[in-house]
Amino acid sequence: MNIYDFTVKTMDGKDKSLSDYKGKVLLIVNTATECGFTPQYSDLQNIYSEHQKDGLDILDFPCNQFMKQAPGSNDEIHAFCTGRFGVTFPQFAKIDVNGENAIPLYRYLTSSTTFRGFGESPMTEILVPIVEKMDKDYEKNGKIKWNFTKFLIDREGNIVERFEPTASMDKVKAKIEALL
């Protein structure tokens, strides 16, 4: 099994098979428009602009599960992202990434990876108490902890790495470039 086995919903509600991305390096990310990590949209767009020609796609899945930080409709989220950050990479319908309503793609991603910590980011001190309240065993499971968790996928559809939202975008970019 790999990510090509999944179908997701586009922003306009149509089915999109991830097999359409065969042969590409993918970065799959759950996002939010009202989050402390929302400025990462700029970094993601810069990486996409630089490397789309090399076979990179970034797949954006808005999610409102973390303190309701993605409250808008699909159209409102898209307008915000394109207007404020110039986003041109594919954006999909808002989803759940955890729990009984999590889409199958995210069930696969979270069951196939583990949480490796938030690292030494200044945001770690803010995130840990919040995440602990939501899931006291957060360190021991693969659930998504927060917005802007990223999954790097190779050209064969395999998960290469998981990046927590606190991961340096320079590190994310370097790992993408190594696969390209």
27-57 pLDDT tens trace: 999 999 999 999 999 999 999 999 999 999 9
Q: How far apart are CA 75 and CA 170, in angstroms?
A: 30
- Rounded to two decimals, what is the model's pTM? 0.97
All structural domains of the chain with their residue ranges: 24-155
| pLDDT tens sequence across 122-137 | 899 999 999 999 999 9
Q: How confident is the model at residue 120 (pLDDT cuts 50, 70, 90)?
A: confident
Strands 150-153 and 56-62: unpaired
DSSP secondary structure string for all residues of 29-92: EEE-SSSTTTTHHHHHHHHHHHHGGGTEEEEEEEB-TTTT---S-HHHHHHHHHHHH---S-BB
Q: How confident is the model at residue 23 (pLDDT cuts 50, 70, 90)?
A: very high
**One-letter amino acid for residue 141 of the chain:** N
Task: Provide the mean pLDDT of the chain.
Answer: 96
Q: How far apart are CA 19 and CA 156, in angstroms?
A: 10
Q: How far apart are CA 89 and CA 39, in angstroms?
A: 15
> Which CATH number does 24-155 carry?
3.40.30.10
Q: How far apart are CA 124 and CA 91, in angstroms?
A: 27
Q: How far apart are CA 2 and CA 4, in angstroms?
A: 5
Q: How far apart are CA 46 and CA 173, in angstroms?
A: 10
> CA 58: distance to chain centroid?
8
What residues are annotated to the active site? 35
